[in-house]
Structures are given as C-alpha cells and as structure tokens.
A and B are shown apart, each in its own frame.
Chain A
Amino acid sequence: MSILVDGNTRVICQGITGAAGAFHTKGCLDYGTRMVGGTTPGKGGQKDANGLPIFETVTQAVEATGATASMIFVPPPYAGDAICEAADAGIRTICAITEGIPVQDMVRVRAHIEANPGVTLIGPNCPGVITPGRKVAEGKWEGGCKIGIMPGYIHMHKADAPTRKAVGIVSRSGTLTYEAVWQCSQRGIGQSSCVGIGGDPIKGVDFIDVIEMFNADPETDAVIMIGEIGGSAETEAGRWIRDNMNKPVVAFIAGRTAPKGRRMGHAGAIVGGADDTAQAKIDALRACGVQVAESPADLGDMACKALKLA
C-alpha cells in the first residue's frame, strides 16, 4: 500500500517534448514508472525519444493509454489550462510541476478542481509524488511510481528497509523533502509515499489532506511534515493531528532566521489575525504534540526516535 499512486498507475506527461518534460519523463521511466505517453499540441502522432506516443490532447491520450495520472511541465502561461484539461479528460491524479503560474489563474483552477470530486491536484510548483519501488539491481527499481522531478535513487521501499519501517513525507519544499528522504534512507527507514504539495499560495492538496491519507495507509508508520513561513496550513494541520492522528508526526518549519519581510500594507496581517512566522508555527505544532526539529539535519534521527528505533 501507499497513497495516491503505485506501480500500476499509468502516467502521461503534459509537455513531454519540452526540455524539462523530456528529461524528467526519462527519469520517471528509468525509475520504473509506467509512463504511457504524453501530449504536445502540434506533435500528435509522433513518438518521443523513449518511443512513447505523443498526443494532441489529454483526452486522446487517456482514450489510447488508459492513463489516470499526469505530470505537467507546461510553461506557466498555459499550465493552469493544462490542469483543467487533465481534470476534464478524466485524469484522477494531476501533478503540476510548473513553477510560476499566476495566482489568479490558480484561483480559477482550484475552483475547477473542487467542482470535479475525485480529482486530486498536487502542486503546482512542487516536486511531485513518489511511491518508492523495490530495488532489484543497482540503479533499477520495480513496482514504484515516481511522478515528478525528485531524484529516485535516494528513496527506499519499506521491504528494502533494514528497519522494516516506513515514513510518509509531506512537504511544501522540494529540496527539503529530498533532504528528509535521504536522512531516512541512510538510517534504514523506508518511505511509503512522499508528496510535495508545493509552495504556492493557492494549490491542490494541503497538509491535512495528505496527512489524513497517511493516517489511513497501513504501510505508513510515521509522518514527516515540512513546512515554512507564511499562511496557516501547518498550524491547522497541527490541530488535525492532535484530534485525529494515531501515528507519530515529526516536523520541520523552515525560515526561523528569515528576515521579516518589508511588508506592504496591513491586509496580510489582519486577514487571518494569525502569526505566520516559523516560530509561531513551531510553538503551535509543539502544543499539538508534534515533535518539531530544530535543524533540518535532525529529521532522520527524530524519525528514528518517533519509530522507537533509537
């Protein structure tokens, strides 16, 4: 088990012939993801460098391949539309990797996703989602699903993990997620799934959505959540954890030393009335029983402790 995606998930790439789309389609294939095709308008009928079929539209791609998940590398001006296209074509799990989508586009996209129950949007501006596969040889994995830009080799399947334990990881930051994954793998802790929810103000799944999935997933033994300054999603997740969670949660909040922004106006401060500094979030999470790391380098050791391995 895992959350969101597994080795049977059929995945297409929207923007498969762009530089990033092509590079990461190959990376996902190499990891063992069932990449079944992609879209680039104007190139329908051709094959990509890996021999995957290219379609004009997502609907055509879904009809021909049975894809249920999509990885989006479409440039920012068109990415919001690409998300809506995927949702309307019947894609269930949409990973929008694209960084820099205008927030007003995302306001409309978010409403569109909410009107399509059963569609899960991950991101945008995120590394994607990965359910690690079993390692069958050096540089070769099976049964996993990597949708996104994370380096596959740092991950570890629970069955390959010397501790036979696995954490679920949910994070606003891509590279900090890799950091947490790497520390766990080096300590013999596997990962059930890792979800980068992205750093944009308006996005798809948020901390609570993913933590709820991990709570229900039998393969997940503990959760690592990585947040940062801004907004109140971490604090809300803390309350959800206090009231509902039956697994240990370890957290890190980045930005304790970030300078106070030369803030413009008062609207941001008065809308929620909440303090959105790193320290305020750390205090709120601790009050809810979440173990919060002082340093991002401590996440692996704290996961060990939470799993009673040390």
Chain B
Amino acid sequence: MKIHEYQARQLLLDAGVPVPRGEMVESVAAAQSAARALFASGSRQVVVKAQVHAGGRGKAGFVKLVRTVDEAVDAATFMLGNRMVSVQTGPEGIEVHKLLIADAVEIAHEYYVAVLVDRGSRTNMLIASAEGGMDIEHVAATRPEAIIRMPLDPVRGIAPYQAREVAIRLGFRGKAVAQASDLISRLCTLHRSLDASMVEINPLVLTPPTSSDPDGKVMAIDAKFAFDENALWRHAEVEQLADPQEADPAESRAHEFGLSYIRLDGNIGCLVNGAGLAMGTMDIIKLHGGDPANFLDVGGSASEQAVTEAFRIILSDERVEGVLVNIFGGIMQCDRIARAIVGAARTVGFRVPLVVRLEGTNVAEARTILEAAKSDIPVMQTASDLSDAARKIVAAVGAGAAA
C-alpha cells in the first residue's frame, strides 16, 4: 500500500520528526492561501508538489519552486486536473488532484536515511548516507563505503547509542548531533510501530546556521513509506490513508476477494494458485511465444465465489484473447476450481478459448465435473501437463488472431 507525501509528512510530524511547514490543498484558491500564509510567516521560497503515487515528478515539471504567491497560483493552476507523465507512469499519466504547498527550506547539506526489513540479516536495518539527494543508488553502486548499514536488535530495536553513532558518522556536529540521533531513533520506532516494510527520508537536511540554531536544524524534506499488507488489520490509521483515486479498479476488486492480481501487457489471461506457480506459468507462456495478460494468484483458500470473481476480472479485460487455468491443488481443492469454471461459464460466459490444467487435491472429482460440463463450454480444452497447457493456449490464441 502506498501513501502520499503529505500523508507521510503527517506521520513523521505525529512521531515528532521535524518537517518544513506546509499543507495539502485540492484547489487553486486553497493553494493561494497556503502560499500566502507561508510567505507571510517568513518563507523566502515555497515548493508546489503534485501528490501522486509515482516518482519522476521533478523532471516531469510537477515540482515547482516559487518566489511569489502569483507564481504558486500559476503552478497550482498548471498541475491540478492535469495529467502527469513521468518515467514511472506510462504514457497515459496520472491525473493530479492534490498538491503539497510547503516551505522550501535553505539547505546546507543533504543526507539519506532509511529503515527497512532486511532478508539478509533477518531483522530491521537502518541505512544512512551523508550523500543524500538524487543519486543515492549511484553512490551505493560506486562507493558502497559511503553507505552506513546498521542491523537493529529484533526485540529492542534501536539503542540511543546506535542512533548517536550513526549521527556522528554522518558528520553531524554540536547541537545537530542530538537532533539527528533523536530523528533517527524516532524513525526506527515509527517503522516498527506502523509495521512499515520501509521508511525512507531522502533528503534529510541540515539547514544553514542561524543565530537561534548555530549548528543548523535537522529536518525531513521528503519521505516514502511502504507498509506490510499483512499487518494492516492492526493499523486502521494506515489503512484509511489509501487513496481510492490512485488504485487500479481491477486490482482493488481482486484485493476485496483476497486475490492477488497484477495487470500486464499481453493477451493470455492466467488463473493460477500460488505466487511461484503463477510466475512460472507466465514464464512458460512466454517461452512458448505467448504473452501473459496478468498475474493472478487465487491463493489457497479462495471460495468458489472468489474464483468466479477472478474469471470475471480476467474476462473483463478486453485485451484477453485466451485464458489459461493452471492449478496444482494443495490447500486449494481442484473440484472448487472446476465448479467455479462451470459457474463462471454460466454467469460470466467464456468468449475466448480456455485451457484448463488441474492436478493435486481432489483432482478426480474436478475432472468428473469438467467432463460433465464439456458440451456446455465448447471453448474449453483440458491439458495434461504444464507444457501441454502452455502450448494449447498459445496455439488457440494464435489461431484466433489469424482468423
């Protein structure tokens, strides 16, 4: 689940992590008053940022630095209702409904700080670098010694001395050490208390020294959160941050039925149980010269109704010219899939070729059900194994395209 930058800012603020002043707006008028308030309270520059679930905003022209209220209004007028096309969005782009209007603080230095679950060390890990900003991946690739990696105790989490050590190694001095180590500790605690899979601050900044802050101020400029979907049941506060305007309707519907569905670019719909087999099925379709239209894992305990819904989702994709069902039943009982196929033929209707390969738990019952339904579903063929299934669906779709 993804959240917007303005929501991430709020989570940080609530956890006591300093961020620049600012607010989220949904209209040009609100953008105008937000900008006016910032300039009135001492901002020299203000940044107007589109709030969409995609990166590459800066290069796409959807992050603008402005010096006057009028410039802020111009930027907001351009962005709101416009579609942002960036390297991460695809050619159709994403419509912008929300903006963040924030103080563009002066920056003395940019850092990078993140906390994530690390498979390798099997615990949470703090990652930091004194070379934050745009090219952190380049830094990691070319000069790995510039990246600090600190595994955190799985039970205690971060200790204050560890946070201090990281702050010192990042180069903070004087009063900024306490600010930075406090921020790092809070970030680690927030990561765990929200069941985030990743929290990333890039950049974390130190502002230039002033008379009130002789060692500068430490604050988070931009933050990204990724959440563990398996823990959302205990985080209603996170779940309600989901933006329905940003979700793919088919993917949302699949999610409601406990199905894992991702739309792809091909024309062969896939209905498979298990993520590994689903990927393997996509791989073998491609090996036989076909192109999968989706990834769909019905999981182990999907009801007949959920499987029927899976067919409805696949078949409502106009590009689908054939469907491959590949089930190796363990938890999933094959007869449930067979009944769902028969049900879907009645309630949804198969307009394209269907190849069914079933093996595993209750496969004998399933074969009997399909055999009995054969005359009602003329587009259906059964397959004896995985290769046979891939060959048949690729041939059937190819024949359809030729005709």
Please list the residues of chain A having a beta carbon within 8 angstroms of any beta carbon in chain B: 20, 24, 27, 76-77, 99-105, 107-108, 110-111, 127, 148-151, 154, 171-176, 178-179, 182-183, 199, 201-202, 226, 228-233, 252, 254-259, 262, 264-273, 278, 294-297
* Complex CA distance for A294 and B224, rounded to whole angstroms: 37
B37 at the interface (CB under 8 A from A): no
* Of the residues B200, B284, B328, contact of A175 by C-beta under 8 Å: B328
A175 and B154 within 8 A (CB): no
Instruction: Return chain B residues, CB-CB under 8 Å to A271.
Output: 116, 118, 120, 125, 127, 149
Residue contact B275 to A173, C-beta cutoff 8 Å: yes
Docked pose: A294 CA to B279 CA in angstroms = 13
* Contact A265–B328 (Cβ < 8 Å): no
Q: A226-B276, A257-B282, A270-B139 are in contact. List 11 more A-B contacts (CB 8 A).
A: A174-B300, A199-B276, A231-B119, A258-B295, A264-B2, A264-B226, A266-B112, A266-B136, A271-B116, A271-B125, A297-B385
A228–B300 Cα distance when bound, in Å, is 19
A295/B284 contact (C-beta < 8 A), A104-B231, A111-B154 known = yes
Bound-state CA distance A233–B118 (Å) is 12
Q: Report the separation of the CA atoms of residues A182 and B234 in the bound assembly, to the nearest whole angstrom.
A: 40
Asked if residues A272 and B120 are in contact (CB atoms below 8 Å), the reply is: yes
- Taking the nearest CB of chain B, how far is it from the CB of A293, in angstroms? 10
Q: Does B316 contact A (CB under 8 A)?
A: no
Q: How many A-B residue pairs have CB under 8 A?
A: 195
Interface string of B126-142 (1 = CB under 8 A from A): 01000000001101110
Interface residues of B in 189-208 (CB under 8 A from A): 192, 195, 197-198, 200, 202
Contacts from B to A (Cβ < 8 Å): 2, 54, 88, 112, 114-120, 122-125, 127, 136-137, 139-141, 144, 147, 149, 154-155, 192, 195, 197-198, 200, 202, 224, 226, 228, 230-231, 233-234, 262, 264, 272-277, 279-280, 282-287, 292, 295, 299-301, 327-331, 359-361, 385-387, 390
CB distance from A279 to the nearest CB of B (A): 11
| One of A102, A110, A176, A265 near B200 (C-beta < 8 A) | A265
| CB–CB A99/B299 < 8 A | yes
CB pair B231 A257 closer than 8 Å: no
Contact check, B117 vs A201: say whether CB atoms are below 8 A apart.
yes
Chain A residues with CB under 8 A of B200:
264-267
Q: Which of A104, A107, A264, A297 contacts B387 (CB 8 A)?
A: A297
Cα A303 to Cα B54 with chains together (Å): 44
CB-nearest residue of chain A relative to B112?
A: A266
Measured CB to CB, the nearest residue on chain A to B326 is: A175
Of A24, A199, A272, A296, the residue contacting B280 (CB under 8 A) is: A296
Contact partners of B231 in chain A: CB under 8 A: 102-105
Chain A residues with CB under 8 Å of B299's CB are 99
Identity of the chain B residue whose Cβ is nearest the Cβ of A199 in the assembled complex: B275
Q: How far is the CA of A111 from the CA of B234 in the complex (A)?
A: 22
Report the separation of the CA atoms of residues A232 and B120 in the bound assembly, to the nearest whole angstrom: 7
The answer to whether A179 touches B328, judged by C-beta atoms less than 8 angstroms apart, is yes
**Is the beta-carbon distance between B228 and A102 smaller than 8 angstroms?**
yes
User: Sorted from nearest, which 10 A-B pairs have the closest CB atoms?
Assistant: A173-B276, A175-B274, A270-B140, A102-B231, A175-B277, A111-B154, A267-B114, A254-B279, A296-B280, A265-B200
